[in-house]
Structure 1
């Protein structure tokens, strides 16, 4: 869908304490580009922001 809409990239946030997910995304071409605080109730968690450049 993103390619059909001519998007340059897709991005997502993954919890920094989830190394399996981070490695999965890295294996599939995603790169880290920032961090973001995600509040879950009263708990603040850090998400690593990852993006994948799309080739059209």
Structure 2
């Protein structure tokens, strides 16, 4: 899992939770050891959401968005 995007009008309606749970279930069915994703360091709401779902930061990397460089926090969940 690299990224999940949910339209703003669906925030707080469990859409993101459904998608994360689906990704976790799929990973478990495929017997992988962990899943990971990247999240923009300024997206505090998303970081908190992933932490509540058992993800922990393990690294950072640069993500290019057009001409702009942004730092993503790499987060991982052990399964």
TM-score band, normalised by shorter chain? over 0.9
**Number of aligned positions between the proteins:** 54
Q: Distance in 2 between the 1:24 and 1:18 partners?
A: 10
Q: Distance in 1 between the 2:51 and 2:75 partners?
A: 9
Residue from 9, 22, 43 that aligns with 2:47: 22
- C-alpha RMSD of the superposition: 0.5
Unaligned runs of 5+ in 2: 1-25
Which structure carries more strand by proportion? 1
Unaligned runs of 5+ in 1: none
Q: CA deviation at 1:19?
A: 0.4
Q: CA deviation at 1:5?
A: 1.0
Runs of 4+ residues deviating >2 angstroms? none
Higher relative contact order (CA 8 A, sep 6+): 1
Q: TM-score, normalised by structure 1?
A: 0.92
